[in-house]
Amino acid sequence: MDLSDRLPPMIHSEHGIECYYSIQLTGWMTLSPDLQIIMNPGGTSDRDVAVVWGFRVQMNL
């Protein structure tokens, strides 16, 4: 869905928060669980809240 360029940005906007924590598994690998909560996803009121979770892995070889 495309939003009109003529509308002020605060009328159609999404807001969110992200939380993560880094866990050092080894000297070369870090695991970070991640949680995102997005209010008004896509800038519309069609959906109230979206919850997205995942994992990040960083390896320094």
| pLDDT tens column, 15-54 | 899 999 999 999 999 999 999 998 888 776 677 899 999 9
User: Is 4 among the domain residues?
Assistant: no
Q: How many domains are contained in the chain? A: 1
Does some domain include residue 2? Answer: no
Look at residue 10 and tell me if it is in a domain.
no
Domain ranges, residue 51: 15-59
- pTM attached to this predicted model: 0.62
40 lies in a domain?
Answer: yes
Whether the predicted pLDDT of 4 surpasses 90? no
Asked if residue 3 is part of any domain, the answer here is no
Distance CA 3, CA 33 (A): 32
Q: How many CB atoms lie within 10 A of CB 42?
A: 13
Q: Is residue 5 part of a domain?
A: no
- Residue 22's pLDDT is 96
Residue 1 lies in a domain: no
Rounded CA separation 21/30 (Å): 10
Task: Give domain status of residue 8, yes or no.
Answer: no
Q: How confident is the model at residue 10 (pLDDT cuts 50, 70, 90)?
A: low
Average pLDDT over residues 2-25: 76
